[in-house]
Amino acid sequence: MPHPDVTAETLVETAYAKVNVALHVRARRDDGYHALESLFVFAEQGDALTGVATDDGAIDLVVDGRFGGGLDAGPGNLVVRAARALQSYLGEQRGAAIHLTKALPVASGIGGGSADAAATLRLLTRLWDVRIEAEELAGLALDLGSDVPACVASVTQLVTGRGEHLARHAVTGLEGRPMLLVNPGVAVSTAAVFAGWDRVDRGALDASSFEALATARNDLEAAAIAAAPVIAEVLAALRACGGVSLARMSGSGATCFALFDEEAAMSDAADAIRSSQPGWWIMETRVRRA
C-alpha cells in the first residue's frame, strides 16, 4: 500500500518478506562464510519504501512503522548503505529522501534488512532513471549482504554458495500457495545461530518437487531453538493447525511459516494462533508469483 505522503514525484517499492522453504548448511568455507543450499520464496507483502529524488546528493532516511522504533536511520542502516553504494558506483550526483515503513520484525529470519536494501536498489534505479546491468546490480547487492542478491528479484530461487549463485526455480504447486508467517517477538542473532550449528553435513537439498521439499530441512533450526526455545512452541502451534502441508523455521529464526492447501485453512489457523498467543506477530499472505 502506498505511503500516505505519496505525491506525483514519489515512487514506491515493497521490500517483500523472504522465506527459506528449506535451508541446508553444507560446510564452512575458507572465506569464513557458510556454503548454503536454500530455496527462497517471497511473501506478497513486506516493508514499504517511498522515495523522492533530490538535487543535493544527500541520502535522507525516515523510518516508522510497527517495527521502526528501534532502527537507526543513520549511515549504518542498510537502506542508506545500499543508496550510497549505488550512488558511488554510478557516480550519481543526485540524492534521495527515502521513507521506510517497517512492517516486518527485525532480526527475524525473513530478510527484513536485506529486502529493504534490495528494494532501495530497485527504487533508486527507477527514481534516478539509470541503466545498470543485472550482473553489476547483483555485485553491489552481494557486498551489502548474502541474502540481498536474491531479494533484488524477489522471486522463487534456488540459492547456493553464500548467496551469490541464484537460479530461478519454479516448483509446481508452490507459487501462489497460502502462507502464514509467525514470529514470537524475540530477535535471534544470525551469527550466534550459525555458531551453534553442529557442523554436520546432512546432505544436499532436493527442490525438484513440493513433495521433495516436504522432506527437506532447515539445518539451523536446532541451534535457533537452543538460543530461543519459544521457536519450538511456534512450530508446534503451526503443525497442530488443520490443512498444513509444510511448517518450518525460516532462515536463522525466529520467524516460522506454514504452507496451506486452502486459504480458509490458513485464516482459521491465524485466528486460532492470534487467540492463544496475542503477543505474537502474524502475517497472512501467499507465496509471491514471478
Which amino acids are annotated catalytic?
Answer: 18, 147
Buried b / exposed e over 242-267, threshold 16 CB at 10 Å, is ebbbbbbbbbbbbbbbbbbeeeebbe
Answer yes or no: are the C-beta atoms of 188 and 253 closer than 8 Å.
yes
The C-alpha atoms of residue 72 and residue 63 are separated, in whole angstroms, by: 8
Q: How far is CA 56 from the centre of its chain?
A: 32
The C-alpha atoms of residue 209 and residue 162 are separated, in whole angstroms, by: 23
Answer yes or no: are the C-beta atoms of 209 and 73 closer than 8 Å.
no
Residue 134: CB partners within 8 Å, gap ≥ 6?
none
Q: Which three cell numbers stand for residue 263?
A: 486459504
Q: How far is CA 268 from the centre of its chain?
A: 25
The C-alpha atoms of residue 156 and residue 151 are separated, in whole angstroms, by: 10
Q: At what angle do helices 112-127 and 134-144 cross, to 10 degrees?
A: 140
Q: Which three cell numbers stand for residue 234?
A: 511456534
The C-alpha atoms of residue 246 and residue 269 are separated, in whole angstroms, by: 13
Residue recorded with cell 550459525: 194
